[in-house]
């Protein structure tokens, strides 16, 4: 019979434990998503997947770290151009001649994408906008920035102001194009505190605001190919987003939004796609090759569309339990019925459709109250009563919609209000006497 060596067994046990606990550590590859639950194995610096209508985050990795966004910067430029059109600051048919800055950046190598504008060449705002949104043309972009704000420096200030308003806390803009400042030579804008930087979360915030406030942008970003000029120097614009129909990395439902590439940023892409009533926003930053950004985006979209569904939680006009009536001051009635102001449709994982509940928050309102007037908010309560993760606090507050007045309530007459105050006083008096007598007994 062999007697076990206790000391030897302890040493073997320690070695086995070390090996077991070391395996996960040694298997991690730099730049891949390991902590996120779906295990998509993305080879990126950062990434995020968001449901577009609510801003609910479905997947994230290193989403708050800022990186150079390259031409994804142009999403903010597109927003400000569309805003200027809406406010009649510029018009689609306004003609803009190319200046020396545009001609310079058109010929800049490396990071430049351009429609090769020559000094004095004239194009409409519409033509330049399409060149920016379809082909990411830097020369067209700087002309639009100058048309909107008078100079690129002024435009950049407006970009940073808007980013702050949108809650993009990890963003800084230095140019309208995303073109690196150190490659602009004499045309570099005044010192702005660093080069262009954005986080994946901020890119998603920007994309959500762009397609929500100006959904018409997708009519342009979804164009695979278009001629910029026919003569005398024909130029065809091929969309850099190769996930569009007819292109190499086609993915059903993709209709935007913005690619980006510089040597420092590597290959980036903010995408959006819709299938049925589900619209997703994706961001991948720092992928290795032109095509890999689309491959990593495909993983995110596959996960989003296969895992989540838009679940109806309430219909317009439906009462939310626990928030049936709001208090009305100085009205003919003292309360008004509260109902959902719109259909509440919310992204949930398949199989978890029954896990989400609604909770209303009402405020006291003064008469008169109009039918449909907001009375409060509807909050979506998630698994175990915990809120979900959203792009911004504002998204979380609005994801469930609002409670509105089911009917109108007119302001009460002075006689009615005086009588109501008197009866309330008498009621309070007798209630107080009752409590006093009860205490004596």
Which CATH number fits the domain that encloses residue 207?
3.40.710.10
pLDDT in tens, 135-175: 999 999 999 999 999 999 999 999 999 999 999 999 999 99
Is 136 marked active-site?
A: yes
Distance of CA 136 to the CA centre of its chain: 21
Of all helices (H) and strands (E), which one includes residue 129? helix 125-135
Instruction: Indicate if 277 and 326 belong to the same structural domain.
Output: no
For 20, phi then psi, to 5°, come to: -65, -45
pLDDT in tens, 152-163: 999 999 999 999
Domain end among 310, 327, 351: 310
Domain that holds residue 138: 46-310
Q: Can you tell me the distance from the alpha carbon of 275 to that of 252, in angstroms, rounded to the nearest whole number?
A: 8
Instruction: Indicate if 244 and 338 belong to the same structural domain.
Output: no
The two beta strands, 325-329 and 374-381, are unpaired
Using a 10 angstrom Cβ sphere, with 0-12 exposed, 13-18 middle and 19 or more buried, the burial of residue 105 is buried
Is 199 marked active-site?
A: no
Provide the mean pLDDT of the chain.
87
DSSP state of 383: G
First to last CA, the chain: 89
Q: Determine contact, residues 364/346, Cβ cutoff 8 Å.
A: no
CA angle 7, 8, 11 (to 5 degrees): 90
Q: Can you tell me the distance from the alpha carbon of 200 to that of 224, in angstroms, rounded to the nearest whole number?
A: 25
Distance of CA 262 to the CA centre of its chain: 23
Domain end among 293, 310, 327: 310
For 365, phi then psi, to 5°, come to: -125, 155
Instruction: Indicate if 217 and 265 belong to the same structural domain.
Output: yes
Q: Which two tokens stand for residue 242?
A: 């190769």
Domain end among 282, 310, 338: 310
Instruction: Indicate if 297 and 334 belong to the same structural domain.
Output: no
Instruction: Indicate if 76 and 165 belong to the same structural domain.
Output: yes
Instruction: Indicate if 261 and 231 belong to the same structural domain.
Output: yes
What pLDDT was estimated at residue 232? Answer: 86
DSSP state of 107: H
CATH number of the domain that residue 364 is part of? 2.60.410.10
Short-list 241, 212, 271, 268, CA closest to 66 = 268
Q: Can you tell me the distance from the alpha carbon of 167 to that of 164, in angstroms, rounded to the nearest whole number?
A: 5
Instruction: Indicate if 303 and 386 belong to the same structural domain.
Output: no
Q: Which of 136, 176, 222, 323 is catalytic?
A: 136
Domain count, the chain: 2
Residue 278 within a domain = yes
Q: Hey, what long-range contacts does 305-309 have (CB within 8 A, 24 or more apart)?
A: 305/253, 305/273, 305/275, 305/278, 305/280, 307/38, 307/58, 307/349, 307/350, 308/51, 308/58, 308/278, 308/347, 308/348, 308/349, 308/350, 309/278, 309/347, 309/348, 309/350, 309/353
What pLDDT was estimated at residue 411? Answer: 86
* Threshold 0.75, pTM exceeds: yes
Instruction: Indicate if 250 and 391 belong to the same structural domain.
Output: no
Residue 9 within a domain = no
What pLDDT was estimated at residue 353? Answer: 85
Q: Which of 45, 56, 60, 71 is catalytic?
A: 71
What pLDDT was estimated at residue 227? Answer: 97
Q: Residue 424 forms beta bridges with which residues?
A: none
Instruction: Indicate if 68 and 206 belong to the same structural domain.
Output: yes
Q: Determine contact, residues 376/403, Cβ cutoff 8 Å.
A: yes
Is 439 marked active-site?
A: no
pLDDT in tens, 14-52: 344 333 333 333 233 333 333 345 789 999 999 999 999
Q: Which of 56, 60, 74, 162 is catalytic?
A: 74
Short-list 411, 83, 64, CA closest to 204 = 64
What pLDDT was estimated at residue 10? Answer: 40
Using a 10 angstrom Cβ sphere, with 0-12 exposed, 13-18 middle and 19 or more buried, the burial of residue 193 is exposed
């Amino acid at each position: 019979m062999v007697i076990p060596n206790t000391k030897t067994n302890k040493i073997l046990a320690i070695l086995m434990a070390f090996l077991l606990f070391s395996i996960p550590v040694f298997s991690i590859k730099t730049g891949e998503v390991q902590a996120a639950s779906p295990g998509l194995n993305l080879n990126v610096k950062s990434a995020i997947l968001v449901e577009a209508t609510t801003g609910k985050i479905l997947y994230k990795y290193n989403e708050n770290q800022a990186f150079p966004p390259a031409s994804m910067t142009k999403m903010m430029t597109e927003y400000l151009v569309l805003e200027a059109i809406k406010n009649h600051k510029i018009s689609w048919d306004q003609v803009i001649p190319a200046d020396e800055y545009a001609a310079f950046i058109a010929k800049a190598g490396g990071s430049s994408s351009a429609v090769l504008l020559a000094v004095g060449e004239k194009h409409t705002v519409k033509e330049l906008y399409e060149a920016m949104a379809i082909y990411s043309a830097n020369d067209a972009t700087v002309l639009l920035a100058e048309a909107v704000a008078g100079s690129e420096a002024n435009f950049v200030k407006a970009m940073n102001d808007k980013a702050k308003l949108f809650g993009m806390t990890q963003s800084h803009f230095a140019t309208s194009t995303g073109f690196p400042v150190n490659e602009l030579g004499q045309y570099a804008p005044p010192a702005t505190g660093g080069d262009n930087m954005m986080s994946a979360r901020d890119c998603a915030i920007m994309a959500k605001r762009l397609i929500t406030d100006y959904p018409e942008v997708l009519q342009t970003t979804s164009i695979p190919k278009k001629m910029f000029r026919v003569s005398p120097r024909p130029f065809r614009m091929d969309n850099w987003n190769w996930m569009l129909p007819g292109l190499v990395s086609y993915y059903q439902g993709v209709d935007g939004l913005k690619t980006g590439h510089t040597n420092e940023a590597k290959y980036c892409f903010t995408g959006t796609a819709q299938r049925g009533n589900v619209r997703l926003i994706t961001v991948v930053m720092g992928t290795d090759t032109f095509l890999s950004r689309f491959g990593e985006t495909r993983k995110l979209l596959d996960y989003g569309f296969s895992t989540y569904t838009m679940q109806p939680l309430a219909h317009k006009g439906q009462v939310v339990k626990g928030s049936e009536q709001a208090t009305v001051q100085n009205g003919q009635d003292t309360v008004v019925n509260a109902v959902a102001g719109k259909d509440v449709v919310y992204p949930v994982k398949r199989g978890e459709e029954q896990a989400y509940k609604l909770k209303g928050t009402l405020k006291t309102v003064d008469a008169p109250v109009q039918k449909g007037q907001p009375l409060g908010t509807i909050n979506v309560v998630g698994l175990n009563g915990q809120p979900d993760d959203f792009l911004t606090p504002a998204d979380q507050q609005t994801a469930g919609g609002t409670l509105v007045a089911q009917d109108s309530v007119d302001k009460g007459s002075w006689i009615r209000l005086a009588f109501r105050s008197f009866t309330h006083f008498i009621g309070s008096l007798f209630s107080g006497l009752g409590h006093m007598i009860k205490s004596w007994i």
